[in-house]
Amino acid sequence: MARHRLAVLGSPISHSLSPAIHRAAYAVLGLDWSYGSADVMGESLAVYIGSRDSSWRGLSLTMPLKRDVLPLLDSRDELVDVVGAANTLLWTADGSVRGFNTDVYGVERSFRDVGVDALALVHVLGAGATAASVIAGVARLGATEVQVLARTPAKAESLVALGRVLGVAVTVVPWGERLTGHPDAVISTVPGGESLPEFSLDVRSSALLFDVAYDPWPSDLARTWTDAGGAVISGLDLLVNQAVGQIRIFVAGDPAVELEKERAVIGAMRAATVAH
């Protein structure tokens, strides 16, 4: 049986635009593949993966599953080990499960798409699995210092260790305390709707904001930035860019192999976000 079924997993998942953008991409590629969604928590992830039949090609993983999936992988791309998180699962030809991380590519690509090819100091809000991918992504853009605002600082120590591997000085700051210095970018990995710290007019007007949340959009944080005349990268950009990496994996098994008609694919994916 040909493998042609795909889905995005997470909780909550009803807001996800992944089905819309993936379906748009496969239409351009002429692939008769299905892509759905399922509300899955970590405790039920193993059962879900284990119960898929040979028609399944892969899965996209979002919160809170990017770390929960690691023990369930038969093999993994090197980047998964570096950041300690996987957002993509592929069933290989022999039926084994391989994990990948395309969030890092998505972060880097989103900055480059707006002409930002170099960073130095970055402020990151939140310390979960996405924050690890964010740090790896900005490291590819030359960032040398990252300050992470964390609700539970002890749980963020893995980010400090990650920084040492990547050559980035990572400092963890308890939530409620002030971040220091003037950042080139502020990146929020916190889900939409959560209360966030206030930033000075100087920071909002000059530092680039990258808010990975996209529901609702614009977020309250993004509004404060645009009200100050600042520049904002939407979580929709990350959604599309990391999905390009996923689709490369689902099509060719390799996130580095560009898609046929990739520019047209990306255009259709972006149009699908607007339609919703």
Residues acting as catalytic residues: 66
43: exposed, middle or buried (Cβ count in 10 Å: 0-12, 13-18, 19+)? exposed
Q: What are phi and psi of 73, to 5 degrees?
A: -90, 140
Torsion of CA 250, 68, 160, 111, to 10 degrees: 30
- Residue 124 bridge partners (DSSP): 148, 187
Contact 68, 45 (CB under 8 A): yes
Closest CA to 37 of 53, 57, 61: 61
Q: How many Cβ atoms sit within 10 Å of the Cβ of residue 1?
A: 8
What angle is formed at CA 70 by the lines to CA 20 and CA 141, rounded to 5 degrees?
70
SS (H, E, C) 82-94: HHCCCCEEEECCC
